[in-house]
Homo-oligomer: A and B are copies of this chain.
């Protein structure tokens, strides 16, 4: 195509809210324009990138046996109420009330609609397995949209849903999607880590994220130093302390201390002359509708609510309200302690993190306003076993932790895909059942598989850019080759550039020619900015010797090649770049 006939409004300045490289460069390269907070227009080049990504995704989904369909963006809210997910999404769900007063969700995802479809159309095991997908716009009412298209209110997602007769079938479907995702991201030319995850509000039994490690990412990946295991922060398991300290038989009895006007862990430590690692935090959570859970964490650690959720059997947990804390601890908020907790009728479960269980002695709240207790010995002053006591990993991993004996390292990343084994959560609540070979009705085993199309684009730029602009992978770049005729007044230059352009296009190469009447410097700058992988420069000087310049976007210097060989050489390099990705 011709540069002069495309809207490619490259700019020098970027808005102040463009904090990350991909956001800045998408605007500078004329790929996107902001319409409102969290919504973007994709201009011709940006849209070409997205379309190429969508095509790769489509091909790999089709190859994996998934069937493409398209479900509405407007979804009856009743479906979301049936699964309880209207509440889970809360204010991030966009809703539209129509003129008849019916409430519609603007699809944030589509488990409900797909499962309802299968409930209606599938009745026999003979129709299973089935995997259906769509590539469609999704919506999230982000409180604070940012990082350009990385956290936007409107985005394109590929979402697939598999339905199987049993868990083994789900494993197969999940595995196929796992492998297809690897091929998608490989073909898109982005590096990624496969990260174990909890399935969070999606429900279900297992999940992995495909995350592109980069500094601009909002997610934290926790990896063993050998890279053999990675999990997100919510999931990341940690080894218990190497050896439990010897039970301190010589610790004096517990002693209550008056600690007025001290709120934070730090303040208590300062007041008592102790360290956060010697403190035991007692956190009161509610789990599900009615259970109260006490959670013990070392003072220098943070609780991990996903781990707590898993420890209570998948129920939604949140910190208890003040009234509950007061009732359970008998004190104002900030003074709860583990003593007597497990014996309280009110408290269904006491969860003790292994790092607390391993403490020889600690300081805790005294269950009495403005008081703490010292000389508290785990196992002596509160139980480490019993019917409603569990010693279990419920804290966030931190620097210095190990898993499987290997040191854990922390990285930032962008999640570009996630796959979930959902089990029967949706099929049960939405009636997606089938009759098995013995005519017994059973719920389908379902999986759900998402890819953020726009995030692949942004990730590619986060991974590939320099001071001059984008460095895009060959398979998703808006064009494969860009031709720069330096002097539009020279018939020889224009003629040769046009010949190369024509012949490359005929050879099936996706080629752009910068036919604008602008200075060479402008063409070079813009070419760097939009990041086409291969550039051919046709100039008077070179042509006098029958040469043109060929340069990969990543090369420091161009190679001079005979003009007559330029097409063949360029096509070969394009092929080589494609092989490499």
- How far apart sit A72 and B154, CA to CA, in the bound complex (Å)? 7
Q: Count contacts on A: residues with CB < 8 A to the other chain.
A: 51
- How far apart sit A6 and B66, CA to CA, in the bound complex (Å)? 9
Most B-side CB within 10 Å, residue of A67, A91, A137 = A67
Known: A6-B67, A106-B96. A73 touches B154 (CB 8 A): yes
A20-44 contacts to B (CB < 8 Å):
33, 35-37, 39-44
A70 cross-chain contacts in B, Cβ below 8 A: 41-42, 47, 50
Contact present for B7 and A143 (CB under 8 Å): no
- How far apart sit A468 and B29, CA to CA, in the bound complex (Å)? 54
* Residue A130 at the chain B interface, CB threshold 8 Å: yes
* Residue A68 at the chain B interface, CB threshold 8 Å: yes
Q: What residue of chain B has the Cβ atom nearest to residue A65's Cβ?
A: B5
Tell me which of A113-121, A250-258, A316-324 binds B.
A113-121
* Residue A577 at the chain B interface, CB threshold 8 Å: no
A33 cross-chain contacts in B, Cβ below 8 A: 117, 120-121
Contact present for B47 and A69 (CB under 8 Å): yes
* Residue A74 at the chain B interface, CB threshold 8 Å: yes
A75 cross-chain contacts in B, Cβ below 8 A: 35-36
Q: Which of B91, B100, B132, B136 contacts A99 (CB 8 A)?
A: B91
* Residue A522 at the chain B interface, CB threshold 8 Å: no
* Residue A465 at the chain B interface, CB threshold 8 Å: no
- How far apart sit A47 and B39, CA to CA, in the bound complex (Å)? 27
A180 to chain B, nearest CB (A): 16
- How far apart sit A136 and B50, CA to CA, in the bound complex (Å)? 14
Contact present for A7 and B121 (CB under 8 Å): yes
Q: What residue of chain B has the Cβ atom nearest to residue A35's Cβ?
A: B72
A581 to chain B, nearest CB (A): 25
A536 to chain B, nearest CB (A): 23
10 contacts between A and B (CB under 8 A): A7-B67, A33-B117, A35-B71, A36-B72, A37-B102, A39-B74, A41-B70, A41-B117, A73-B139, A99-B141
